[in-house]
Amino acid sequence: MKFNILDILLPRETKFYTFMSEQVEVLITGTRLFKDFVTNIEKLDEEALKKRILEIKEVEFKGDKVEHMIIDELHKTFITPIDREDIHTIAINVDKALDILNSLSQKFEIYRVRKVPTNVLKFADIIVEISVELSYLMKALADKGDIMKHVQKIHSLENTADHLFHWSLAELFDGSHEPVEIIKFKEMYEHLESITDCVDYVGKLIRGIKVKQG
Q: What is the pLDDT of residues 13-34, one digit of tens each?
A: 789 999 999 999 999 999 999 9
Does any domain span residue 5? no
Q: 150: domain range?
A: 12-213
CB atoms within 10 A of CB 5: 7
Cβ-proximal residues to 74 (8 Å cutoff; 6+ apart), any chain? 16, 80, 84, 87, 88
Instruction: Write down the pLDDT at residue 78.
Output: 85
Judge contact between 168 and 117, C-beta under 8 A.
Answer: yes
Distance CA 54, CA 76 (A): 33
pLDDT for residue 9 is more than 80: no
Judge contact between 71 and 89, C-beta under 8 A.
Answer: no
Instruction: Write down the pLDDT at residue 11.
Output: 53
Q: Quick one: pLDDT band at residue 64, thresholds 50, 70, 90?
A: very high
> CATH number of the domain that 133 lies in?
1.20.58.220
Please provide the DSSP assignment of 81-147 as one string: SS-HHHHHHHHHHHHHHHHHHHHHHHHHHHTT-----HHHHHHHHHHHHHHHHHHHHHHHHHTT---
Range 61-81 average pLDDT: 94
Does any domain span residue 89? yes
Q: Quick one: pLDDT band at residue 140, thresholds 50, 70, 90?
A: very high
- In the chain, pLDDT over 70 holds for what percent of residues? 94
Instruction: Write down the pLDDT at residue 69.
Output: 96
Instruction: Write down the pLDDT at residue 13.
Output: 72
In 3D space, the residue among 56, 70, 68 whose CA is nearest the CA of residue 28 turns out to be 56
Does any domain span residue 1? no
Instruction: Write down the pLDDT at residue 6.
Output: 46
Residue 190 or residue 12, greater confidence: 190
Does any domain span residue 62? yes
Does any domain span residue 114? yes
Does any domain span residue 17? yes
Q: Model-level pTM? A: 0.93
Q: Quick one: pLDDT band at residue 4, thresholds 50, 70, 90?
A: low
Instruction: Write down the pLDDT at residue 10.
Output: 46
Does any domain span residue 6? no
Distance CA 134, CA 2 (A): 21
Least confident window among 25-34, 61-70, 72-81, 183-192: 72-81
Residue 214 or residue 30, greater confidence: 30
Does any domain span residue 96? yes
Cβ-proximal residues to 207 (8 Å cutoff; 6+ apart), any chain? 147, 148, 151
Q: Quick one: pLDDT band at residue 212, thresholds 50, 70, 90?
A: confident
Instruction: Write down the pLDDT at residue 214.
Output: 64
Instruction: Work out how many domains the chain is built from and give that number.
Output: 1
